[in-house]
Amino acid sequence: MSKFDKFLKETVARVNHQCDYCGNPIRVGDVYYSEKLKDLFLHSLHEKRFCSKCYKEHGDNLLKVKKGKRKPTGTPPLERWIGDKSTWIGPTKCDEQREARERDWENIWKNLVSAKGYRETYLFLMPAIDLFREALSCYQNGAYMAAVSMCRASTETLVYLLASRQIEYRKGQSFVREVKVDHSLTESKFGEMLAKAKAKGYVNIELEKQINKIRKNGNFALHYGQRYDKELEESTRHGVPEGWIGMEKTRDVLRDTSELLTKMIGKTFIIAQDILTNSTR
Ligand SMILES: [Zn+2]
């Protein structure tokens, strides 16, 4: 064995690097493989670094790659590793998990539209439901960070609608058709809207927790740079953070959002029935 023998050492990136084989970025927190000399008293001046995907594909053959000899090939693959699974980022036509996602969104949607009072309260909650539909569409197409962002948009819109609208009594109607809008909330911060929705009896502590959980995931996507750093900072003791929201987590967030919408449909339905049928005005 020559003292210049090398091996590849599994390492967690503390700063950003670039893979010396495929040219893809290795980001802070990513697991990558760096070339080390077996003789620990020697240091390689031009240590090569390879991403986990290339290591998986080529293993120790990467040691034969000459630094700077291999130019990154065309467009880097739009992939991101979450744990030991890869997630495609960006437009794609063929995708092995598409069928599973189709089943997921169809089930989630079927549950929502079969909720008691869905039709009767549809006009009241439509903007939030439309945003949720958009979230399902993102999921269907593998756009996970987009899907959780839309779940947050749907949830915040839902809270605004509940806070700002009053169902109007119209004789003989069993569907919500008219509402009075409180325009004082159009410039309000979310906390104010939530307080109002709570005061009106729509949201309790348990639901508030659920709302905040959905918003937190959306925030991770919408403020990715900051949130990723924060997660990394908090997770040094618990290993590498996920770093990107994948299919499974997105499905959970969709289910949470659907459940929240279903509960709010139920509450709105009870309130609407009371106003529309029992009003003595
Ligand atoms: Zn690579």
Q: What HEC string does 12-78 produce?
A: ECCCCEECCCCCCEECCCCEEEEEEECCCCCCCCCCCEEEHHHHHHHHHHHHHCCCCCCCCCCCCCC
| CA 54 – ligand 1 centroid, Å | 4
> Which pLDDT band holds residue 74 (cuts at 50, 70, 90)?
very low
Averaged pLDDT for residues 262-271: 93
Examine the pLDDT at 165 and tell me if it is beyond 60.
yes
> Which pLDDT band holds residue 108 (cuts at 50, 70, 90)?
very high
| CA 266 – ligand 1 centroid, Å | 51
What spatial distance separates the first Cα and last Cα of the chain, rounded to whole Å? 95
| CA 226 – ligand 1 centroid, Å | 25
Examine the pLDDT at 150 and tell me if it is beyond 70.
yes
CA 277 – CA 281 distance, rounded (Å) = 11
Of 26, 15, 14, give the one whose Cα is nearest residue 72. Answer: 26
Examine the pLDDT at 279 and tell me if it is beyond 80.
no
| CA 249 – ligand 1 centroid, Å | 26
Averaged pLDDT for residues 263-274: 91
Contact present, 246 and 32 (Cβ < 8 Å): no
CATH architecture of the domain with residue range 6-77: 2-Layer Sandwich (3.30)
| CA 25 – ligand 1 centroid, Å | 8
Q: Running DSSP on this structure, what letter comes out for residue 234?
A: H
Residue 1 is predicted with a pLDDT of 47
| CA 234 – ligand 1 centroid, Å | 27
| CA 92 – ligand 1 centroid, Å | 20
| CA 126 – ligand 1 centroid, Å | 45
| CA 58 – ligand 1 centroid, Å | 10
In the three-class reduction of DSSP (H, G, I as helix; E, B as strand; rest coil), residue 186 is classed as: coil
CA 103 – CA 5 distance, rounded (Å) = 51
More confident residue, 134 or 80: 134
| CA 6 – ligand 1 centroid, Å | 18
Which two three-digit tokens encode residue 238? Answer: 């618990």
Would you give the distance in Å from CA 4 to the centre of its chain? 46
